[in-house]
């Protein structure tokens, strides 16, 4: 299954094989702005730089996940050129044009110039201190997707949906994602002040100490006769650690096991291949996820292999607004196959696949080229995964809604949604659980 991901590398060849645009005729406004900014067409290297830019515009228009006019991309590129300082070189103009063009697409597509990328990477390695926030840029705003488990950002109270307007008083609007992370990171032990705007419009200043973050992707525990697997992210070893957890449950509980809870709350995703393997652990057959591009040539379906490592035992999956990407793939697959009951809040809705293409001396680009679809054919992007049972405040009496305060608290954190997941398994089914805890 994972070998199929090698096919993604072929996408880079499309950039080399796609036809180049006519450098003058296709985008006259961009051509005029580019060379006027340089003071003429005789600048050394300018012709080759512009030809590269025009060609890449045509290729992005051809490969982007949604239909997009090359002229619209060229206009975004032109605005980037016009915003450049007068003394810019042709190479600088290309960087600014591509940054503006990719910024006009979606929060997950981006271009990073080589020198900027190398500089930020070196600084990130030297700094070492992080806040543990997964963020995206939406409409020019830096929005928190989810804070990582036990991270400084989570302990400071940052939540999914918060907008980070400024760092140490400096606004973030107009920066690339790599530049935002550069502002958020710093030496371990240093402090940073974030200006945060909540979804309700309120603003507050939050001071956080940066730390070296090593969050284990998987933790597991046993509550009575129920195994609980907390998956914080889909990292290179996630499937190995989930397998170990299932083996440990089988060894300790055996036939006495009443079921398993998979906690995917505030899981921002990560490696799609790891998510597919984890979903496969609980399935015997059928589709896990389909990725679809614009023209169908890059579509791929990933299917489960025989062998349910949970041996058919009941499964409850916990999700919330911070569950995204690969976490949504797993929860959607288990829901559609009726292999698990989903409990919590609607997930984030990040259902797109990006292809990262190194561009040598020019840097690298990340382009959204496909979308995720659940086995039932439902698009995840912007829709998210809706749980079978909603748990939260003010949901008592709503159809399939549970008031959070009714859930029994679990552990030192007094985790009530987890308590509801455990209680559902102990109740022996969804109907008796809803009857006891406040269903319709």
Q: Is 325 a known active-site residue? A: yes
Sign of torsion, CA 194 413 215 274? negative
Give strand ranges (E) for 168-298: 170-171, 186-187, 191-197, 203-209, 218-223, 226-231, 259-263, 287-292
Q: What is the β-pairing status of strands 163-167 and 191-197? A: antiparallel
CB 215 within 8 A of CB 148: yes
CA angle 168, 170, 173 (to 5 degrees): 130
Please give the Cα distance from 67 to 358 (Å, whole number). 23
Q: Which of 190, 169, 181, 170 is nearest to 137 (CA)?
A: 181
Among 23, 59, 287, 350, which one carries the catalytic annotation?
A: 350
Cα–Cα distance between 176 and 366 in angstroms, integer? 12
Q: Examine the residue annotation and report whether 350 is marked as an active-site residue of this protein.
A: yes
Reported in sequence order, the residue ranges of 148-292 that DSSP labels E, i.e. its strands, are 163-167, 170-171, 186-187, 191-197, 203-209, 218-223, 226-231, 259-263, 287-292
**Set 90, 109, 266, 325: catalytic member:** 325
Query: Of 95, 241, 263, 336, which residue is the catalytic one?
Result: 336
Q: Partners of 260 in the beta sheet?
A: 227, 315
Please list, in sequence order, all residues whose beta carbon lies within 8 angstroms of the beta carbon of residue 125, skipping any fewer than 6 positions away: none
Helix 46-63 with 70-82: angle, nearest 10 deg: 140
Q: Is 336 a catalytic residue?
A: yes
Catalytic site residues?
A: 325, 336, 350
């Amino acid at each position: 299954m994972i070998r199929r991901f090698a096919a993604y590398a072929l996408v880079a060849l499309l950039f080399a094989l796609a036809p180049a645009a006519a450098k003058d005729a296709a985008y006259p406004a961009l051509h005029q702005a580019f060379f006027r900014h340089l003071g003429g067409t005789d600048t050394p290297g300018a012709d080759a730089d512009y030809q590269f830019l025009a060609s890449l515009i045509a290729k992005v228009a051809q490969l982007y996940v949604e239909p997009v006019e090359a002229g619209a991309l060229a206009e975004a590129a032109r605005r980037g050129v016009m915003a450049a300082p007068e003394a810019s070189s042709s190479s600088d103009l290309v960087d600014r044009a591509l940054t503006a063009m990719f910024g006009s697409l979606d929060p997950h597509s981006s271009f990073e110039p080589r020198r900027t990328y190398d500089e930020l990477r070196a600084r990130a390695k030297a700094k070492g201190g992080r806040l543990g926030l997964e963020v995206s840029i939406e409409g020019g705003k830096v929005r928190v997707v989810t804070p990582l488990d036990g991270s400084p950002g989570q302990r400071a109270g940052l939540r999914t949906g918060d907008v980070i307007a400024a760092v140490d008083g400096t606004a973030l609007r107009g920066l690339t994602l790599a530049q935002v992370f550069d502002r958020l990171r710093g030496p371990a032990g240093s402090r940073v002040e974030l200006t945060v705007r909540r979804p309700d419009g309120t603003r507050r200043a939050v001071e956080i100490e940066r730390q070296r973050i090593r969050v284990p992707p998987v933790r597991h525990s046993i509550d009575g006769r129920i195994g609980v697997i907390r998956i914080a992210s889909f990292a290179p070893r996630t499937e190995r650690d989930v397998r170990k957890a299932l083996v440990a449950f089988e060894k300790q509980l055996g036939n006495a096991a009443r079921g398993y809870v998979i906690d995917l709350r505030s899981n921002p995703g990560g490696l799609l291949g790891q998510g597919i393997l984890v979903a496969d652990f609980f399935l015997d057959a059928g589709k896990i996820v389909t990725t679809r591009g614009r023209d169908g040539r890059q579509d791929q379906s990933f299917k489960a292999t025989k062998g349910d490592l949970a041996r058919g035992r009941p499964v409850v999956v916990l999700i919330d607004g911070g569950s995204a990407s690969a976490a949504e793939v797993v929860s959607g697959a288990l829901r559609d196959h009726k292999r698990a009951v989903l409990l919590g809040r609607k997930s984030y809705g990040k259902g797109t696949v990006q292809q990262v293409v190194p561009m040598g001396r020019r840097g690298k680009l990340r382009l959204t080229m496909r979308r995720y679809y659940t086995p039932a054919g439902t698009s995840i992007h912007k829709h998210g995964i809706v749980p079978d049972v909603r748990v939260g405040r003010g949901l008592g009496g709503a159809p399939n809604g549970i008031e959070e305060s009714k859930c029994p608290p679990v552990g030192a954190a007094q985790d009530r949604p987890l308590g509801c997941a455990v209680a559902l398994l102990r109740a022996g089914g969804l109907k008796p659980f809803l009857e006891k805890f406040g269903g319709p």
